[in-house]
Amino acid sequence: MELRVLRYFLMVAREESITRAAEILHITQPTLSRQLSQLEEELGVKLFERGARRITLTNEGILLRRRAEELTLLADKTEKELTSQEGCVEGRISIGCGEIGAVERLAGICQAFHAQYPRVRFDLFTANADLVREQMDKGLIDIGLLLEPVDMDKYGYIRMDMREEWGVLMRPEDPLAVHESVTADDLAPLPLILPRRGSVQNELAGWFGPAYDRLHVLFTSNLSTNSAFMVQKGLGYSLVIRGSVSFWDKSQIVFRPLSPSLRATSVLAWKRHQPFAPAAERFIEFIRRS
């Protein structure tokens, strides 16, 4: 049974006349009569008693009318849910991100998306870009906010419209804290805490130049928060992104930018050719429009 033919049947049952039903449906009377006859043949039952002035339903016709009303109502409801009820999008979007300044922009995107789709929830996973990418490749994370450099061959992405600034964390009473910025020669003899990512270490090696080979690297760390605790205990100086320490108490720890300046970009990325749940699909579309 086709929904179109069931709608024809319901119209005839309501009007009790093939002629009036055909006029409302904007089809010819012979076409409508043929469709009804084919429906009766398909079901193997008689649906109408055709009188001189009006058509009435048989017992089988009454049963079909009840079921046809349920089917067409469900079809209409489903169509509306799929095409027009955007506020009904729900589910969970998993987002991986590092401790970088672009997270503030990400928060603004999530805020705007939540206002449009209030039934969607977010799951934030904090790690460096290498681990976030690994989780994305496994399908465990939908969206990644990644600090470059990153190999983007497998990903769709939008580059964020801000640049991250590299600098050094130190205690406020440290002699270097009186400087507005810190040079490679300032840092070369000091115990350092470097980011764990190899690609980022290569970027820093380019900034340090010849001094890189004589650095005293005491720790590597994948999160700035943990390295900051080491700095507080006087164990070293941590190279971090400024945005990762924006909420730290400056009476406990301070940030000084590198000189010459070293900056990086970040991207919002997702795996290409991967099926996503409707909420994540809608979020990716939202990112592209934003």
By mean pLDDT, which of 22-31, 82-91, 203-212, 235-244 is the weakest? Answer: 82-91
Enter the pTM of the model: 0.68
Q: What are phi and psi of 104, to 5 degrees?
A: -65, -40
- State the residue for tokens 């810190």: 182
Amino acid 221 reads S
pLDDT of residue 86: 52
What's the whole-number mean pLDDT along residues 226-235?
94
Count of Cβ atoms closer than 10 Å to residue 150 Cβ: 20
The C-alpha atoms of residue 246 and residue 238 are separated, in whole angstroms, by: 15
Cβ–Cβ under 8 Å, residues 60 and 46: yes
Residue 83 has pLDDT above 70, yes or no: no
Token pair for 196? 């764990």
pLDDT band of residue 90 (cuts 50, 70, 90) is confident
β-sheet bridge partners, residue 121 = 92
Summary mean pLDDT of the chain: 91
Residue 101 has pLDDT above 50, yes or no: yes
β-sheet bridge partners, residue 221 = 195
Alpha helices in 128-252 (DSSP H): 129-137, 184-187, 198-208, 224-232
The C-alpha atoms of residue 176 and residue 277 are separated, in whole angstroms, by: 50
What's the whole-number mean pLDDT along residues 42-56?
88
What's the whole-number mean pLDDT along residues 268-289?
91
What's the whole-number mean pLDDT along residues 61-74?
88
pLDDT of residue 80: 59
The C-alpha atoms of residue 48 and residue 71 are separated, in whole angstroms, by: 20
pLDDT of residue 169: 97
pLDDT of residue 193: 98
pLDDT of residue 235: 96
* Mode of pairing for the β-strands spanning 216-221 and 191-195: parallel
pLDDT band of residue 81 (cuts 50, 70, 90) is very low
